[in-house]
Structure 1
């Protein structure tokens, strides 16, 4: 009996990873990819060059209509999608730009996730439906000017005053901060670290935008200033006690980064591959030279290994088996390899690699931020080191 012919080799999917996806997964990916191609790619180079995201509120509403905000959450107008589908969405969004994926990630995996998992029913009903639709944008205030990798040392405080809470402090490098309608803020109290839903029109709250960035330029980044901000007792997230609560939110967001980084890498790889096929030197395309082919082969291997890792972690998350150490594994590997792919792609494009006519340098500079936010490479190495050895190297 004759064997079935093998399927053709697909340079866009050399390992046949699409065979792992169900039709509904592919439909989600195509919907987000088409939206990004229509709404982001034609404008992103200009937004990045000018250092702005002028259509952020409009984009948020469109993303809400797609079901991309709070995508894996159940109820309150959220899509209730699988973790795998959310990962595919993150990949396509970051293939357009890391700033767009950050908008969605902070909205859904940080602010909405915190409210959904730790908030009261009143807070969920107040905020989540409007956040799912994109009517309200949220932000997540954990990092401080002097405390990034060590959030447990935060100085922002909340004290009781009668039936109210009064918050004071500063948060730094907050995505969506100056366009948010609600900020999930973490503060030190007599009871330990607690979370609060802070309406951004509260007296004493301000969110000056951070400018002069050379990375994530098409993203709104802000400082949060809380000057004796008075909140009712109901603003407290009752289910959030201790540092484990914000870290759980970060774990959910880091999962999206595992996928998103591969989107940026894919964009750069494809730009390099297309360029190598058409750019001629010494009378033939540069893709015909051995050294260029070696670069392309190495990029393809790391890109698709990273995508397989993302798929595996997505399946584990959907099965309720994904551990924080495994998320650290994914973020450490995929962001690090994505950066190397971007840098190698830049060498293939030569001088054209620094031009905004191509996506490579934009993705490379964005990934420099992705490398360190939501846990630096060093922190994830130490998480894995502790898991492997059973010895804690975080503190002396």
Structure 2
């Protein structure tokens, strides 16, 4: 069976450094940090008092106030980003066979804020259960793709992938395979997360996973820097319209890039720590290259998982060096989490969009906030430090890994 080709025809983004794709790209190329003191709740007693929040977002600009109250933020973000992507794609919805249009979404946690609020409200009472009737629908992680399909009438494959921070990359790989195998013509894919809440911050603080650089939040996310001390929590959503190539071509669609492969693997090592030798990371990149029919020397750029954690950054770069050999020195390696923070289940989606835009604009966004080299990291690697670099990119890879040892990797190619 000959596999069908899959292309990207629409993009949508709601991020800590921009509430549209254009704003997001401006932030990326200019090295803007999205980190700032937390405004969603009083974090004054928390070890970490800052995050990368979505800014200047008024949900009623997009969704009716009454309807918005029924939705957790992660679903609100999903609807807004997917609407931008659908509009950007130029698809005429009334001309689609909606039975062949799906939504495959990623979320690592789902409605955390809703869960927190409902449980706290119950705890304040006398034990009598008085829960919001929308508690469960607002909370469950599968609700985002369900709402997108309900809004637009999409009746194809519809579900959420949950693999912690690899969730939306997993979603894109599933979507890729459905279209490749001929089960769908178009799939809205991506991810959303809204975990900047007391429960999210407190939980990650308890794990010692977050940076505590409260005196200088903007430089706290510093992947590959010797003085990195943990990741910065982010929130938002990214959406991609994945479409079968001939279907897109027939309607004269604008094509950003081709999604040519995806890889999956497991560390099988630890609940939260990466394998120190990057064993699972090596496997996932090799799997991705094989799936895409690429050789290591074909890759021009890699947007790393690069969370700014002491162990993770070193393990990932070690794996890149082993998989790509001498060619690793020729690759533009970067981490856009230095600007956006870590969007957990939405990370794979917004970082895939960054890779696609890098191909389109021939520009690799920087890894900002780097000041002190780490002796554990090879100085021969081009980590695209502090300033964007011009590069004619034909093939770009994006890595995303999650707690539990879940690894996902996607690779995009310029449509020749």
TM-score, structure 1 as length reference: 0.26
Which is richer in helix?
1
- Structure with bigger RCO (C-alpha 8 Å, 6+ apart): 2
